[in-house]
C-alpha cells in the first residue's frame, strides 16, 4: 500500500490498555527534517533483525547465516527488513597484536568479512556491535573507547553497514563526546555506516544525537511483557517532535514472536512501534517464527505507516475522558469523534482498517468500534 502525503491522510489508532483507554494519532501536516549528518542514511526508520533479544550471547556465524537465509526465504527482506545485526559477544576477549578487534574464532571461525560477504550476496546488510567504554556490556569483549578511528576503519574494511553502540563501562564520562568521537570516526572510515546510539535515554540523546547518529535509544531495555512494552511506549512518546528523516527515536527492538505476550498484544506492540516511527528491528528467532508472528511482521499497511517518507512520529493524543467509552467483559466500545482528532466534523472520509484491510466508505463526524483488552484497531482516514 502506498500512503498519500500526511497533509491528506489522517491516522487514527485506538488502543485498549488495562486499566484505561487511550488514542494515538499522527499529525496531519509534516515538516521535512534532515539529519545534521547529511549523509543520506536513515531517511526512514531502519528495518531488520538483531540477535540480542532472543539469543543474547549465544550467537555464532551459523545463527547469522541462517537468519539471513530466513529473512530472504520468508519474504521479509522484500518488505524492507534488510539489516542483520550482530549484538554483543561476537569478538575475542582481547584485541589482537595490532590492537584491532578480532572475531571470536570459536563462534565466528570464518571471520566477520566473510560473513558480510555472505549477507551482502543475499541482498542484505550486516550490522555489528561495540561499546563507548573499554569493555562491552557483557565484559566478554573490548569496547571502542580510545580506539574509535581504528575500529571504524576495521568495520569499514569488513563491509559493515550498521553499528549499534552501547554505553556500558563508561567511566562516568558524559556520553555525548564519546559518541561524537565514534560518529566522526565512522564518517572518516570511507564507508556509509548506520550509527545506532544506545545509551538508554539517560542523558536525553533525542536532544543532541541528531548531529551524531541515525537513531538513539530513548528508554531502558524492553522486556517481553505487556507492562514493559507499554511503559516504554509512554516514555518514548515524550520525544516525538525530535524524530524525522535521518534521525529516529528508538524505544528498543521488537519482542514480537518471543513468546511473552499474546498475539493481540504483539499486534498492538507492532502497531505502536510503526506509528511511533520506531526502528522495526525484529528480536525473535526468524528461522523458527510462527505464522502468526510472520503475519504481524509482514503487514504491509502498517509498515507503510512506519516508512512514510515525511517521517512524522505519531504521538498520544485524545484520552478516554475526551471520548465516549463503554467498558464490558470483552473490552470497550469507543466512539472517536472527528473534533477530538483534529478533523472538521463535516469531513467525509474513507476509513481503511490496516489490519483487516477493509475499507468503509463515506464516514462522517465519528466512528464507533469495540476494542478488546490489550488489542488495537489502526486506521487511515482519507478525506474524500
Q: Which of 166, 224, 237, 252 is catalytic?
A: 166
Q: Is-contact 202 33, C-beta < 8 A?
A: no
Over 339-376, what HEC string results? HHCCCCCCCEEEEEECCCCCEEEEEECEEEEEECCCCE
The answer to whether 234 is a known catalytic residue is no
Cell representation of residue 369: 468500534
Which fold is adopted by the domain 8-16+316-383?
Immunoglobulin-like (2.60.40)
Closest by CA position to 6, among listed 23, 24, 29: 29
Based on the residue annotation, tell me whether 252 is a catalytic residue of this protein.
Answer: no
**Where along the chain do its domains lie?**
8-16+316-383, 47-307
3-state secondary structure of 235: helix
Are 352 and 382 within 8 A, CB to CB?
yes
Q: What is the pLDDT along the chain (384 residues), one digit of tens a residue?
A: 444 433 234 444 555 554 333 344 444 333 333 444 667 899 999 999 999 999 999 999 999 999 999 999 999 999 999 999 999 999 999 999 999 999 999 999 999 999 999 999 999 999 999 999 999 999 999 999 999 999 999 999 999 999 999 999 998 999 999 999 999 999 999 999 999 999 999 999 999 999 999 999 999 999 999 999 999 999 999 999 999 999 999 999 999 999 999 999 999 999 999 999 999 999 999 999 999 999 999 999 999 999 999 898 987 765 544 444 444 455 777 788 888 777 889 999 999 999 999 999 999 998 888 888 888 888 888 888
Looking at 73, 94, 221, 357, which residue is catalytic?
221
User: Burial of 81 by CB count in 10 Å (0-12 exposed, 13-18 middle, 19+ buried)?
Assistant: buried
For domain 47-307, the CATH superfamily is Aldolase class I (3.20.20.70)
User: Reduced to 3 states, what is the DSSP secondary structure of residue 101?
Assistant: coil
CA angle, 197 as apex, 69 and 141 as ends, to 5°?
A: 70
Amino acid at each position: 500500500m502506498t500512503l498519500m502525503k500526511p497533509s491528506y491522510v489522517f491516522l487514527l489508532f485506538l488502543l485498549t490498555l488495562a486499566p484505561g483507554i487511550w488514542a494515538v494519532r499522527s499529525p496531519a501536516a509534516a515538516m521535512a527534517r534532515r539529519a545534521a549528518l547529511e549523509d543520506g542514511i536513515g531517511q526512514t526508520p531502519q528495518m531488520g533483525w538483531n540477535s540480542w533479544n532472543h539469543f543474547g550471547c549465544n550467537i555464532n556465524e551459523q545463527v547469522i547465516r541462517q537468519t539471513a537465509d530466513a529473512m530472504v526465504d520468508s519474504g521479509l527482506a522484500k518488505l524492507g527488513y534488510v539489516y542483520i545485526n550482530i549484538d554483543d559477544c561476537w569478538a575475542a576477549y582481547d584485541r589482537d597484536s595490532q590492537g584491532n578487534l578480532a572475531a571470536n574464532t570459536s563462534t565466528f571461525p570464518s571471520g566477520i568479512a566473510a560473513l558480510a560477504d555472505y549477507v551482502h550476496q543475499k541482498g542484505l546488510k550486516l550490522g555489528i556491535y561495540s561499546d563507548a567504554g573499554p569493555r562491552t556490556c557483557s565484559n566478554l569483549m573490548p569496547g571502542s573507547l580510545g580506539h574509535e578511528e581504528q575500529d571504524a576503519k576495521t568495520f569499514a574494511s569488513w563491509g559493515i553497514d550498521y553499528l549499534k553502540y552501547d554505553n556500558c563501562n563508561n567511566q562516568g564520562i558524559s556520553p555525548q563526546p564519546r559518541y561524537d568521537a565514534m560518529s566522526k570516526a565512522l564518517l572518516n572510515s570511507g564507508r556509509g555506516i548506520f550509527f545506532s546510539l544506545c545509551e538508554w535515554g539517560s542523558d536525553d540523546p533525542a536532544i543532541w544525537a541528531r548531529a551524531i547518529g541515525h537513531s538513539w535509544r530513548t528508554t531502558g531495555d524492553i522486556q517481553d511483557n505487556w507492562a514493559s512494552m507499554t511503559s516504554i511506549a509512554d516514555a518514548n512518546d515524550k520525544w516525538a517532535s525530535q524524530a524525522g528523516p535521518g534521525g529516529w527515536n528508538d524505544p528498543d527492538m521488537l519482542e514480537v514472536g518471543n513468546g511473552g505476550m499474546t498475539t493481540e498484544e504483539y499486534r498492538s506492540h507492532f502497531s505502536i512501534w510503526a506509528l511511533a516511527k520506531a526502528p522495526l528491528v525484529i528480536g525473535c528467532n526468524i528461522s523458527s517464527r510462527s505464522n502468526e508472528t510472520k503475519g504481524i511482521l509482514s503487514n504491509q499497511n502498517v509498515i507503510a505507516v512506519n516508512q512514510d517518507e515525511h517521517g512524522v512520529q505519531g504521538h498520544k493524543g485524545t484520552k478516554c475522558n475526551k471520548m465516549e467509552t463503554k467498558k464490558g467483559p470483552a473490552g470497550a466500545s469507543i466512539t472517536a469523534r472527528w473534533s477530538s482528532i483534529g478533523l472538521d466534523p463535516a469531513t467525509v472520509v474513507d476509513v481503511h482498517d490496516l489490519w483487516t484491510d477493509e475499507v468503509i466508505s463515506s464516514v462522517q463526524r465519528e466512528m464507533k468500534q469495540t476494542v478488546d483488552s490489550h488489542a488495537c484497531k489502526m486506521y487511515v482516514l482519507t478525506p474524500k
